[in-house]
């Protein structure tokens, strides 16, 4: 999924002449702590609730308030994973999307971004989660897939985490599978020398609340 497809059309963009009071009202209405500032269709940065409150005068124009992330944004055609990487790096609540000619396209809400990321990983699907420990040189997704599928089980999504420097045997592969009963899968993988770190027979998640999203963000940032 591309950045242009992740834009939240309900999030407003501020103009330099908008008042601090208006900006704070919009932040409260949309439950965000940041909003994009644009000037005649061009991205000028992000205004935060904290900076607006420090300004003290609700009638003062937001164009006079210090801005954040003036050079931090994503392009229309960047992938969801690239957007997520930028969010984690800068601890952003929103991300501005611009076109190649630097025109402002819209705003991505990080809460909605994480929901979409969770959807891409199959978090809301019923099925087990399996974590394997391995030496990085032994990682072969095609071989692991073949062994799992020999038990009539499918991989919904996967995430490979490279080992820290000097610890090549500590790479980790996290798999989301389409079945909860994966005892035969574990037996097969262990028979072929794979080390199982953990297994969880999860049930579907009907809704993703903020606490779960915060936990996911902390996990990705480790």
Give tens-digit pLDDT for 17-76: 999 999 999 999 999 999 999 999 999 999 999 999 998 889 999 999 999 999 999 999
Q: What is the predicted pLDDT for the residue at 165?
A: 64
In a domain, 194, yes or no: yes
In a domain, 218, yes or no: no
* Same-domain check for residues 96 and 67: yes
* Same-domain check for residues 131 and 196: yes
At 201, the pLDDT band (50, 70, 90 cuts) reads: confident
Q: What is the predicted pLDDT for the residue at 207?
A: 42
Dump pLDDT digits (tens) for 155-200: 998 888 887 666 656 788 999 999 988 899 999 999 999 999 988 8
* Same-domain check for residues 23 and 84: yes
In a domain, 40, yes or no: yes
* Same-domain check for residues 15 and 59: yes
In a domain, 162, yes or no: yes
Domain boundary, last residue among 71, 97, 118: 118
CB atoms within 10 A of CB 66: 11
In a domain, 212, yes or no: no
* Same-domain check for residues 30 and 128: no
Q: What is the predicted pLDDT for the residue at 118?
A: 77
In the structure encoding, which two tokens stand for residue 87, read together?
A: 């969010």
What's the chain's length in residues? 222
Q: Per-residue pLDDT for 205 more than 50?
A: no
* Same-domain check for residues 109 and 192: no
* Same-domain check for residues 78 and 149: no
* Same-domain check for residues 128 and 114: no
Domain boundary, last residue among 101, 118, 135: 118
* Same-domain check for residues 44 and 140: no
- 55 burial level (CB within 10 Å; 0-12, 13-18, 19+): middle
* Same-domain check for residues 99 and 150: no
Q: What is the predicted pLDDT for the residue at 155?
A: 93
In a domain, 83, yes or no: yes
* Same-domain check for residues 197 and 166: yes
Cα distance between residue 68 and residue 123, in whole Å: 32
The average pLDDT across 139-164 equals 90
* Same-domain check for residues 35 and 106: yes
Q: What is the predicted pLDDT for the residue at 116?
A: 83
Instruction: Tell me the CATH number at 196.
Output: 3.30.70.260
Determine the Cα angle at 153 with ends 149 and 159, to 5°.
85
In a domain, 65, yes or no: yes
The average pLDDT across 142-152 equals 95
Instruction: Tell me the CATH number at 75.
Output: 3.10.580.10
Place of tokens 């996990």: 219
Domain count across the chain: 2
Dump pLDDT digits (tens) for 69-116: 999 999 999 998 899 889 989 989 999 999 988 899 999 999 888 888
Domain boundary, last residue among 84, 118, 152: 118
Contacts of residues 47-51 at CB distance under 8 Å and 24 or more positions apart, as own/partner, are: 47/14, 47/23, 49/24
**Domain range for 170:** 124-202
| Full 3-state SS string of the chain | CEHHHHCCCCCCCECCCCEHHHHHHHHHHHCCCEEEEEECCEEEEEEEHHHHHHHCCCCCEHHHCCCECCCCCEECCCEHHHHHHHHHHHCCCEEEEECCCCEEEEEEEHHHHHHHHHHHCCCCCCEEEEEEEECHHHCCHHHHHHHHHCCCCCEEEEEEECCCCCCHHHEEEEEEECCCCCHHHHHHHHHCCCEEEEEEEECCCCCCCHHHHHHHHHHHCC
Judge contact between 68 and 46, C-beta under 8 A. Answer: yes
143 or 81, higher pLDDT: 143
In a domain, 84, yes or no: yes
């Amino acid at each position: 999924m591309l950045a242009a497809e992740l834009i939240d059309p309900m999030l407003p963009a501020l103009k330099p002449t908008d008042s601090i009071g208006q900006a704070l009202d919009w932040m409260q209405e949309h439950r965000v702590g940041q909003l994009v500032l644009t000037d005649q269709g061009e991205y000028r940065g992000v205004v935060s609730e904290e900076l607006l409150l420090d300004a003290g005068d609700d009638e003062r124009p937001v164009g006079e308030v210090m801005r954040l992330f003036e050079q931090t944004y994503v392009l229309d055609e960047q992938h969801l994973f690239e957007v997520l990487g930028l969010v984690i790096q800068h601890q952003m609540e929103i991300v501005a999307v611009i076109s190649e000619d630097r025109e402002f396209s819209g705003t991505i809400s990080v809460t909605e971004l994480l929901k979409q990321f969770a959807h891409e990983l199959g978090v809301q699907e019923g099925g087990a989660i399996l974590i394997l420990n391995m030496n990085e040189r032994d990682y072969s997704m095609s071989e692991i897939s073949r062994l799992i599928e020999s038990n009539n089980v499918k991989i919904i999504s996967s995430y490979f985490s490279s080992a820290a420097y000097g610890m090549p045997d500590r790479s980790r592969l996290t798999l989301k599978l389409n079945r909860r009963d994966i005892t035969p899968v574990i037996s097969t993988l262990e028979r072929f020398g794979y080390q199982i770190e953990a297994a969880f027979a999860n049930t579907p998640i009907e809704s993703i609340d903020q606490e779960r999203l915060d936990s996911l963000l902390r996990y990705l940032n480790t």
